[in-house]
Structure 1
Amino acid sequence: MPKGRYRILVLGGGSIGTRHARNILGMGVGDVTVFEPDEERRATVKRLLDVQAIADEDEAFAVSKPDIVFVCSPTALHVPQALRAVETGAHVFIEKPLSNTMDGVAELREKTMQKQRVVMVGCNMRFHPGPSAVRELLTEESIGIPLASRISDGGYLPLWRPQQDYRKSYSASPTQGGAILDCIHEIDLALWYFGPGAVVGSCVLPATSIGLDTDGLAEMLIKHTSGVLSSVQVNFIQHDFRRSCHVIGTEGSLAWDIARGTVERIGRNGVALEVRQQAWNWETNHMYLDELKHFFHAVERQTLPFGSLEEATQALAIALAVRHHP
């Protein structure tokens, strides 16, 4: 458990901002103030969390005097708000994606180094037992040299947040949302597993089947500098939820399926040599708690966290390359 008691400002009182604020309070690591301009959301935050919720951003910074800022606002505000936080001397946790454009990203990276602040971009799937097991097995070279991977995530946006009209969500925004930015986890996992890479091919389909003017499905090929070829598909227009990863290596393969809760290591003869089963009592919030613990430890030790600005910038560059592909 991280030590210390911090003054923490959460920018954004939506579902993810509320989750982080609740978890921070439960961990007992700091006093929380929430900035939320929407009156209804602000009232909900006060009712659920019993914290100070402020409608004006300037006032929120002035009142909270934050040591740490959590940026959980609409995507277009991530970099400007993170810059402001770093300039005040705060450490920063930014919800994924880093941004919807490269504007200001280089300045944020420069300011972060100048101020020697810890900035982490949250990609919670790195703390899920499935992807973390895949990463561990790859590090152990359990399937020899990795050659290629297939990483996919698909679901149905109208069912994601039942309490909200999906057509009014940030996910539906042609500029800030879309499946590519919303499902950037899979791009991040590919880079986490195999290192930096570049898009060598892609195709995007619109989300017209659910009435949206944004990208609904994207297929991309990423060639990593390590030599691995990753095929990644993300979408939020399919009616069933599926998420999986398959890695081909010179000595076998790895297969993760979120529905089954298993990671299999398959040998040359096609037989499963090892099966890692997700704990029966594992809950979704556990990965968010582990993510927070990792961030607070990085702050205490002034170390580079998972989801560094450099890594998040690489993932964003790939996402934007796919979005802007003709």
Structure 2
Amino acid sequence: MSSKGAVGGRIPVAVLGTGSIGTRHLELLRKIEGVEPVAVPMRRDRRRYWERSGYRVASGWEQMVGDGPLLGVVATDTARHAEDACQALNLGFNLLVEKPLAVNIGEAARIKACAARAGRRVFVGCVLRFSDSLNVFRQQLPRIGRVHTVHIECQSYLPDWRPDRAYKDAYSAREGEGGVLRDLIHEIDYAGWLFGWPEAIQARIRNTGRLGISADEIAWLSWEASSGTLVSISLDYLTRPSRRGVRASGEKGTLEWDGIGLSVALKRPGKRDELATSQQTKEALYTAQLQSFIQACVEDAPSRLATLQEGYRAVSISDAARRASDSRRETKVDYRVEDHS
């Protein structure tokens, strides 16, 4: 990995926000050869913790300027993404912004405008693009011929996510920045990545009151891709045991991805079923994304990372789903930045 311009031969990567996901990024960056992770805590009282843990600590983005390639990870609360990303972009950073890109399309448009003015690159942390098993699924899709229907699901029980923390206090529970549509936007991202982005969408979004939170607990979305494939997505915070996967039905058979068991099953009439499995760890998954981000920015290497445009598209779909649910009608997805800038 090239480190031209980096201090001490290592490429500094600043991580703004040191909550659970920011901590994960910092710990994994520390294990990547040639990289120096820099913790940028939002709270002053956290700086001493990271210093004692042996990390370089900065008080803000501006402290990194003039210190080699400007690479940053935005891992703050979703409601802050636009503000934090634009500050970094204006200073010359290339960014990996944790998913979702922003809370709504207006905020996503702000980031897009800042990136364009600064001439910087922004990627979105839709990490499932680096899942070995999901990529096997992607590679195997042609074997089932033309796909007519796809069902995607990600269903789990929110209180089980972080047993050591009151789930009602987490960002996931807050209406303005959490909820299944934003939290589980991975599924919207890879649906578009694998099968094509929709022009219009149908949706139903509900808060049942069972969890005592203000954010949406259930979302169902459906659309017709440009290929004619009918795509449906089921998301919720209420299901036990957890489920995550994709089932694609084509003219020659069925292909299924199990995102929890990390397996891909191919079933075709008259032929023996095929099963592929992966041993990829969560650490390896996130490390692959971070390495790809660094290589894309420093070496201009090709990448599976979700681009700024794709992150914008996913937020556009999420916003359109809310409008469709409110109106109970199929709703056009508006991808035009100028309408929201």
Structure 2 length-normalised TM: 0.86
Distance 1:132 1:27 in 2: 23
DSSP-derived class of the 1:201 partner: strand
Distance 2:116 2:62 in 1: 24
Residue 27 (str. 1) matches residue 32 (str. 2): yes
Could you tell me which runs of 5 or more consecutive residues in structure 2 were left unpaired when the two chains were aligned.
Answer: 4-9, 327-341
In the TM superposition, structure 1's runs of 4+ consecutive aligned residues that sit over 6 Å from their partners are none
Could you tell me which runs of 5 or more consecutive residues in structure 1 were left unpaired when the two chains were aligned.
Answer: none
Check the 8 A contact 2:155/2:244 in 1, yes or no: yes
Q: 1:40 to 1:132 in 2, by over 3 A?
A: farther
Q: Aligned residue for 1:89?
A: 92
Check the 8 A contact 2:2/2:299 in 1, yes or no: no
Check the 8 A contact 1:199/1:220 in 2, yes or no: no
Q: How many residues align?
A: 315
Q: 1:63 to 1:207 in 2, by over 3 A?
A: farther
**CA root-mean-square deviation:** 2.0
Alpha-carbon displacement from aligned partner over 1:57-111 (angstroms, at most 9, x marks no partner): xx42232326111100000111221122111111101000001111243343244
Q: Aligned residue for 1:197?
A: 198
Alpha-carbon displacement from aligned partner over 1:197-243 (angstroms, at most 9, x marks no partner): 14432111215211111100111102212221111011111121111
Question: 1:183 Cα shift?
Answer: 0.5
Check the 8 A contact 1:127/1:290 in 2, yes or no: yes
Residue 120 (str. 1) matches residue 123 (str. 2): yes
Q: 1:44 to 1:237 in 2, by over 3 A?
A: farther
Q: Aligned residue for 2:313?
A: 314
Q: Aligned residue for 1:38?
A: 43
Matched AA of 1:10 = V
Q: 1:41 to 1:272 in 2, by over 3 A?
A: farther
Distance 2:50 2:168 in 1: 23
Distance 1:86 1:16 in 2: 21
DSSP-derived class of the 2:23 partner: helix
Check the 8 A contact 1:33/1:64 in 2, yes or no: no
Matched AA of 2:28 = N
Check the 8 A contact 1:8/1:64 in 2, yes or no: no
DSSP-derived class of the 2:306 partner: coil
| Aligned counterpart for 1:287 among listed residues 285, 293, 309 | 285
Percent same amino acid at aligned positions? 27
Question: 1:114 Cα shift?
Answer: 4.5
DSSP-derived class of the 2:143 partner: coil
Distance 1:303 1:117 in 2: 15
Q: Aligned residue for 1:3?
A: 2
Matched AA of 1:97 = P
Check the 8 A contact 2:89/2:115 in 1, yes or no: yes
Structure 1 length-normalised TM: 0.89
Question: 1:301 Cα shift?
Answer: 2.9
Q: Aligned residue for 1:262?
A: 263
